[in-house]
Amino acid sequence: MPGRPGQGAVVNPFIVAIDGPAGAGKTTVSQMLARRLGCLYVDTGALYRGVAVLAMRRDIGLDDDLGLAKLCENLKMDLELTPDATRVLANGEDITAGLRTPEVSMAASAISARPVVRAWLLTVQRSIGTKGSCVFEGRDMGTVVFPDAKFKFFLTADPRVRAVRRHKELTAKGPAPSLVEVERDIRLRDRNDSTRSTAPMAAAPDAIFLDSTEKNADEVVKSMLEIIREAQEIN
Ligand code: DC
């Protein structure tokens, strides 16, 4: 469901692509921006996490391309888009609650390197993009999935700061790994995600870089809105 159009809502459908590494604040910023613009919010990491959960459940190796291809072929993945979350339904079962564990994060990073999974999810993502204006967050939104997106941002932050944020999020939910483990995982995922051969995490040449190391979500969203509004006024 789209959020209610906020101040500055624009009329023509458009896509905002927000890429960047884990913990840079993409989720908070993308949700806030989607609300302000009155458009759909799509967390594409949830899709990779959904495939990873199913592979783990079925004991499919995270590099078993045939097994992963078969899994995708028989998978009906539906999404429920709300302003606060991308809920994932796999063959009718809502699997959203199990998507955010550290194990699933690492498994999602591993399967996201498999071209067969990326190709399948490319279609899923592009079909959502036809539904109206959307803010998509991910790793390859501006480079591969929506190279013609009207607005492209690459949001980054110092890895230590990202680890502290992610650790805080995890401890708020219950028993969590130590900060050292969280930072190690974040650095490992950064490496996996940016060095894989298919659609690595990268900033599109025409993306605007924003660094959230010393900025809170409000400040980042304010910068984005200024850029978007300025472009809308010009066009
Ligand atoms: O954004 P996230 O942390 O929920 O993403 C989980 C993993 O999925 C991430 O390590 C890399 C992968 N991913 C991707 O390769 N491409 C995307 N567009 C989104 C996520």
Atom of ligand 1 nearest to the CA of 109: 10
Examine residue 3 and state whether it is found in any structural domain, yes or no: no
Q: Say if ligand 1 is within 6 A of residue 48 CB.
A: yes
Examine residue 66 and state whether it is found in any structural domain, yes or no: yes
Average the pLDDT over 68-93 and give the result: 95
pLDDT of res. 72? 97
Q: Say if ligand 1 is within 6 A of residue 193 CB.
A: yes
Tell whether the model's pLDDT for residue 140 goes beyond 80.
Answer: yes
Name the nearest CA neighbour of 147 among 223, 203, 227. Answer: 203
Q: Say if ligand 1 is within 6 A of residue 109 CB.
A: yes
pLDDT tens digit string along 24-65?
Answer: 999 999 999 999 999 999 999 999 999 999 999 999 999 999
Tell whether the model's pLDDT for residue 6 goes beyond 80.
Answer: no
Atom of ligand 1 nearest to the CA of 189: 10
pLDDT of res. 12? 73
Boundaries of domain holding 220:
15-230
The strand pairing partners of 41, in sequence order, are 135
Could you give the CA distance from residue 67 to residue 60 in angstroms, rounded to a whole number?
6
Examine residue 235 and state whether it is found in any structural domain, yes or no: no
Could you give the CA distance from residue 79 to residue 99 in angstroms, rounded to a whole number?
14
To which H or E segment does residue 154 belong? strand 151-156
pLDDT of res. 233? 76
Q: How far is the CA of 234 from the centre of ligand 1 (A)?
A: 33
At position 186, the amino acid (one-letter code) is I
pLDDT of res. 4? 43
pTM tops 0.75, yes or no: yes
Q: Say if ligand 1 is within 6 A of residue 19 CB.
A: no
List the residue whose alpha carbon is closest to atom 5 of ligand 1. Answer: 45
Polymer length in residues for the chain: 235
Tell whether the model's pLDDT for residue 82 goes beyond 60.
Answer: yes
Examine residue 204 and state whether it is found in any structural domain, yes or no: yes
Examine residue 186 and state whether it is found in any structural domain, yes or no: yes
Q: Residue 164 is part of a domain; what is its CATH number?
A: 3.40.50.300
Could you give the CA distance from residue 52 to residue 86 in angstroms, rounded to a whole number?
16
pLDDT of res. 11? 53
Longest distance between any two alpha carbons in the chain, whole Å:
53
At position 161, the amino acid (one-letter code) is V
Examine residue 156 and state whether it is found in any structural domain, yes or no: yes
pLDDT tens digit string along 149-182?
Answer: 999 999 999 999 999 999 999 999 899 999 999 9
Instruction: Give the list of residues 6+ apart from residue 5 with CB closer than 8 angstroms, or none.
Output: 37, 38
Best mutation site among 109, 135, 185 for ligand 1 pocket (most ligand atoms within 8 Å of CB)? 109
Tell whether the model's pLDDT for residue 219 goes beyond 60.
Answer: yes
The strand pairing partners of 78, in sequence order, are 89
| Alpha helices for the chain (secondary structure H) | 26-37, 45-57, 65-73, 102-111, 115-128, 159-173, 179-195, 217-234
Q: How far is the CA of 191 from the centre of ligand 1 (A)?
A: 12
Tell whether the model's pLDDT for residue 8 goes beyond 60.
Answer: no
Best mutation site among 193, 195, 196, 201 for ligand 1 pocket (most ligand atoms within 8 Å of CB)? 193
Kind of pairing between the strands at 86-90 and 93-94? antiparallel
- Total domains in the fold of the chain: 1
Are 188 and 106 in contact, with CB atoms under 8 Å apart? yes
Q: Say if ligand 1 is within 6 A of residue 112 CB.
A: yes
Q: Say if ligand 1 is within 6 A of residue 212 CB.
A: no
Percent of the chain scored above 90 by pLDDT? Answer: 89
Examine residue 77 and state whether it is found in any structural domain, yes or no: yes
> What angle is formed at CA 134 by the lines to CA 132 and CA 135, rounded to 5 degrees?
175
Q: Say if ligand 1 is within 6 A of residue 143 CB.
A: no
DSSP letter at 144 equals I
- Radius of gyration for the chain, computed over Cα atoms and rounded to the nearest angstrom: 17
Tell whether the model's pLDDT for residue 3 goes beyond 50.
Answer: no
Examine residue 7 and state whether it is found in any structural domain, yes or no: no
Could you give the CA distance from residue 167 to residue 157 in angstroms, rounded to a whole number?
15
The strand pairing partners of 86, in sequence order, are 81
pLDDT band at 231 (very low <50, low <70, confident <90, very high): confident
Q: Say if ligand 1 is within 6 A of residue 22 CB.
A: yes
Could you give the CA distance from residue 37 to residue 52 in angstroms, rounded to a whole number?
31
List the residue whose alpha carbon is closest to atom 15 of ligand 1. Answer: 112
Tokens matching residue 173: 């939910």
Are 34 and 18 in contact, with CB atoms under 8 Å apart? no
What count of other Cβ atoms lies within 10 Å of the Cβ of residue 63?
11
Percent of the chain scored above 70 by pLDDT? Answer: 94
